[in-house]
Amino acid sequence: MKKLLVADDEMAIRLGIKEYAEFEGYEVSEACDGSEAVQLCLKEDFDLIIMDIMMPKIDGFSALKKIKEKKDIPVIMLSARGEEYDKLYGFELGVDDYVVKPFSLKELMARVNVVIRRHQKDEVAETNKNVLTFEGLTLNITGRSVLVDGERVNMTPKEYDLLFFLAQNNDIVFSRDELLDKVWGFEFGGDGRTVDTHIKMLRQSLGAYRKFIVTHRGVGYKFEA
């Protein structure tokens, strides 16, 4: 069940949104001011926030800034004002949509559904971008894991770094010095033999998929798949 947070100092608006959203299958929490909204977001995870701009203690924009520092939650802002400045400022802060009071609950929930679907698609796209598959070799960049034919392979931190860097730059040849700079950092005091050693270890770990790490004699290495 998707969870919504409704933050508004007007109880009638909160209850109206809550009743309509629960009818559509959402779980709804309420906050009567910006401070309470921030505290609830720190304690719980929400799929979307519906938040008024003009609230006591902390206004909606200030609350949004504090929330965005900790969590990436889609937000629809509510306001009795329709000035272009408010909208532009809200979008700069990361607001996904903007609804001016008075509003139709049916239209608001339609916007909620659209924003949540869009956010889910973005999350899937980001996940797919960070999971690379080459035949039976699967690299999870953010999860820092490598699967060879479904079996997890344990590597040293620098082996992961080297493999992920090469795979993300598929078909690009890098010299040993370039790899030392990109993977180990310019302050590292090693030499090209460090790269050669890690390439050898990588090939041992990858088994049949060692074929993807190609040596260009006199130049360096590349990932070719």
If DSSP states are collapsed to H, E and C, what string results for 175-209?
Answer: EHHHHHHHHHCCCCCCCHHHHHHHHHHHHHHHHHH
Per-residue pLDDT averaged across 33-44, rounded? 94
The one-letter amino acid code at 215 reads T
Per-residue pLDDT averaged across 169-173, rounded? 92
Q: Which residues contact 134 (CB under 8 A, 6 or more apart)?
A: 167, 209, 212, 225
CATH of 3-127, picked from 3.40.50.2300, 3.30.1600.10, 1.20.1740.10, 3.20.20.70, is 3.40.50.2300
121 vs 23: which has the higher pLDDT: 23
Quote the pLDDT of residue 138. 92
Using the structure block, give the residue that is written with the tokens 């290495």: 221
Per-residue pLDDT averaged across 167-172, rounded? 92
The domain limits of the chain are: 3-127, 131-223
Residue 188 reports pLDDT greater than 60? no
114-126 pLDDT tens trace: 998 888 876 666 6
Quote the pLDDT of residue 149. 93
pTM exceeds 0.75, yes or no:
no
Distances (CA, A) of 146 to 64, 86, 172, 182, 202: 37, 46, 21, 20, 11
Quote the pLDDT of residue 80. 77
According to CATH, the topology of domain 131-223 is: Arc Repressor Mutant, subunit A (1.10.10)
53-91 pLDDT tens trace: 999 889 999 999 999 888 889 999 998 766 667 777 888
Distances (CA, A) of 130 to 76, 102, 124, 142: 28, 42, 10, 6
